[in-house]
């Protein structure tokens, strides 16, 4: 008695199964794609507070000033991994995290890694303000860099300060975050060391 009914339902049931199966396969594919495109050492980057890119993203060049007022290209840091911190003296959270960036530079800075603290302070006294902040906070290991045109905010699309980007040895963006972190915490140092090892030449 119920046989015809059952038959009319069964093909539809199979179609549903097929649809679910196909969606699952597609989802798995997308996951696998992004997973395979993670930077090497992907497992350890989860300890970083940064939002990591699926793959390294080339950045436009940025010309800034050093502590003596001479122009420096962001591209000149190629060959090192760079933690680029965009900040300003008028920004309380930026001021708060600067000592931890200084300690990170003391610990990991060298030929293979550098913390670049780039101030977007504006005006004729900008360089003086940055230097007097370094002096009052005892910042000793970070070099002074000034982006008086605030080009970093616009060309690197930083929505606010602080914004911190991690760049690979080719100057490409590996990841970024807005807001503060305890940059010399053991987890972050360990994750950065692992990344430096994984991306070794």
Which of 59, 36, 67 shows the shortest CA–CA distance to 139? Answer: 67
| Residue selected from 153, 189, 194, 198 as contacting other proteins according to rule CB under 8 A | 153
Which of 76, 121, 126, 118 shows the shortest CA–CA distance to 101? Answer: 118
Q: Which is nearer to other proteins, 155 or 199 (CB)?
A: 155
Count, residues near other proteins per rule CB under 8 A: 29
Residues 3-22 that bind other proteins (CB under 8 A): 4-5, 8
Q: Alpha-carbon torsion 68, 75, 103, 180, what sign?
A: positive
| Residue selected from 162, 169, 183, 195 as contacting other proteins according to rule CB under 8 A | 162
Residues 55-94 that bind other proteins (CB under 8 A): 88-94
Structure tokens at 59: 């950045």
| Residue selected from 115, 161, 188, 192 as contacting other proteins according to rule CB under 8 A | 161
> Between 126-137 and 92-108, two packed helices, what is the crossing angle to 10 degrees?
70
**Shortest distance in whole angstroms from residue 33 CB to other proteins:** 30
112 touching other proteins, by CB under 8 A: no
| Residue selected from 21, 27, 69, 179 as contacting other proteins according to rule CB under 8 A | 179
| Residue selected from 47, 57, 122, 198 as contacting other proteins according to rule CB under 8 A | 122
Which span (29-37, 46-54, 73-81, 154-162) binds other proteins, by CB under 8 A? 154-162
Please name the residue ranges forming H helices in 37-149: 42-45, 92-108, 126-137
Q: What are phi and psi of 63, to 5 degrees?
A: -100, 120
| Residue selected from 85, 105, 114, 180 as contacting other proteins according to rule CB under 8 A | 180
3-class SS of residue 145: strand
For residues 162 and 54, give the distance between their C-alpha atoms in angstroms, rounded to a whole number. 22
For residues 66 and 73, give the distance between their C-alpha atoms in angstroms, rounded to a whole number. 10
In the shown chain, the binding pattern of residues 15 to 54 toward other proteins, with x for contact by CB under 8 A and - for none, equals: ----------------------------------------
> Between 92-108 and 186-198, two packed helices, what is the crossing angle to 10 degrees?
50
Contact residues for other proteins, defined by CB under 8 A:
1, 4-5, 8, 88-94, 120-123, 129, 149-150, 153-154, 158-163, 178-180
């Amino acid at each position: 008695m119920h046989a015809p009914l059952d038959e009319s339902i069964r093909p539809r049931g199979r179609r549903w199964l097929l649809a679910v199966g196909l969606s699952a396969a597609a989802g798995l594919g997308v996951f696998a794609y992004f997973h395979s495109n993670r930077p090497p050492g992907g497992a350890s980057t989860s300890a970083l507070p940064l939002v990591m890119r699926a793959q390294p993203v080339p950045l436009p060049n940025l010309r800034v000033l050093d502590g003596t007022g001479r122009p420096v290209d962001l591209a000149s840091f190629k060959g090192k991994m760079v933690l680029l911190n965009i900040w300003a003296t008028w920004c309380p959270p930026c001021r708060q995290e600067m000592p931890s960036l200084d300690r990170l530079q003391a610990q990991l800075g060298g030929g293979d890694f550098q913390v670049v603290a780039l101030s977007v302070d504006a005006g004729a006294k900008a360089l003086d303000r940055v230097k007097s902040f370094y002096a009052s906070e005892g910042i000793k290991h970070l070099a002074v860099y000034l982006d008086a045109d605030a080009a970093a905010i616009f060309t690197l699309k930083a929505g606010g300060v602080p914004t911190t980007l991690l760049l690979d040895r080719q100057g490409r963006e590996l990841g970024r975050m807005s807001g503060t972190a305890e940059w010399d915490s053991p987890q972050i140092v360990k994750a950065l060391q692992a990344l430096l090892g994984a991306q070794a030449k």
